[in-house]
Amino acid sequence: MATVTVAFTEVQKLIREKLVSAGISEDQAGKIADILIHADLRGVNSHGALRTEHYMKRLKAGGINPTPDISFNQTGPVTGVVDGDDGFGHVVADIAMKHAIQMAKENGVGMVTAMNSSHCGALSYFVQEATEQQLIGIAMTHTDKIVVPFGGRESFLGTNPIAYGVPAKSEKPFILDMATSNVALGKILQHKEEGKAIPEGWGVDKNGASVTNPSDVVSLMPFGGPKGSGLSMIVDIFSGLLAGMAFGPHINPMYEELEKKRKLGHYFCVINPSFFTDAENFLEQMDRMIQEIRDVPAGEGFSQVLVPGEIEQKNEERNRKQGVQLAETTYEYLKNQ
């Protein structure tokens, strides 16, 4: 599949215009566009502009509320719940994270669940919001079933991603954003869109056999066997059950029944290091940790040890200057207003 390189500001503008044309407010459309372009800038195209067409289809079918009445109920000094009223998950999640940040500033910790939400995009965006204020951010969200539990043949779990963001003093923040499956479903869809084969171990067919044709994928595998399977359950508990939402096979699917509201849940936690230790020393020690990890002698086939998120940060620096790479079909869709 052919690709094109486009200035990120143009892609951001096209996404925003597409959403506004469908009845989404300028503020909400701007936030959604910010989060999608964040993913494309980092080279995580599976969570970027590619998703716009799907969102538009679900919006048109009635599966997303274009004018939600999003509310926040602070249930304690460091806890709260956001009700997304079935709006765009990007907006719902951003509101939840901002409330968690505020509570962490005031009381050391902030924990917020979000309910009645939808797909919220790359979690790295939200934990990065915390690091920009020298706070630690944690984010989780569940998804509909697509991953087989360890030892199983049929899917039960979602890709159920989890993200951590930790600030440093002079180094860029440590950002770990990962699915609990071997790979995010979006990467399978991206390879399918681009006509590329997928590596062994990414997806399995109806019989549980590994396949390389993305069109043959029925389920994904958890990373690390029972470890990934267990972490996936944790994400479902924190972002699903704790938010009063469904889990695993009971979650409304993303790419089917587009007229149904997703009713997704998210979990956000923000920690203020200054309530636990000397904040300046914490940031300096993070710098030291990152620098010393880089200094570890590289193993065979590697030129240097990198910390999680470093490749994506380098991608963003380059793509802000050179433009983001999109599937040509995605770019043409965005331009067709």
What residues act catalytically?
Answer: 119
Category of 301 on φ-ψ map: left (φ > 0), alpha (ψ -120 to 50) or beta: left
Q: Which strand ranges, in their side-by-side order, compose the sheet holding 174-178?
A: 71-76, 79-83, 109-117, 264-271, 136-141, 162-166, 174-178
Helix or strand run (H / E) with residue 267: strand 264-271
CA angle 323, 325, 326 (to 5 degrees): 130
> Using the 8-state DSSP alphabet, how is residue 108 labeled?
S
Q: Exposed, middle or buried, 3 (CB in 10 Å: 0-12/13-18/19+)? A: middle
Give the separation between CA 309 and CA 241, rounded to whole angstroms.
29
In one-letter notation, the amino acid at residue 12 is Q
Beta-bridged to residue 264, according to DSSP, are 117
Cβ contacts of residue 32 below 8 Å, gap of 6+? 15, 16, 19, 24, 55, 88, 90, 91, 121
Provide the 3-class DSSP secondary structure of residue 100: helix
| Residues in the chain, overall count | 337
Cβ contacts of residue 165 below 8 Å, gap of 6+? 124, 127, 128, 130, 131, 136, 137, 138, 173, 174, 175, 176
Closest CA to 127 of 167, 180, 170, 185: 167
Give the separation between CA 313 and CA 145, rounded to whole angstroms.
30
* Residue found under tokens 């300046």: 280
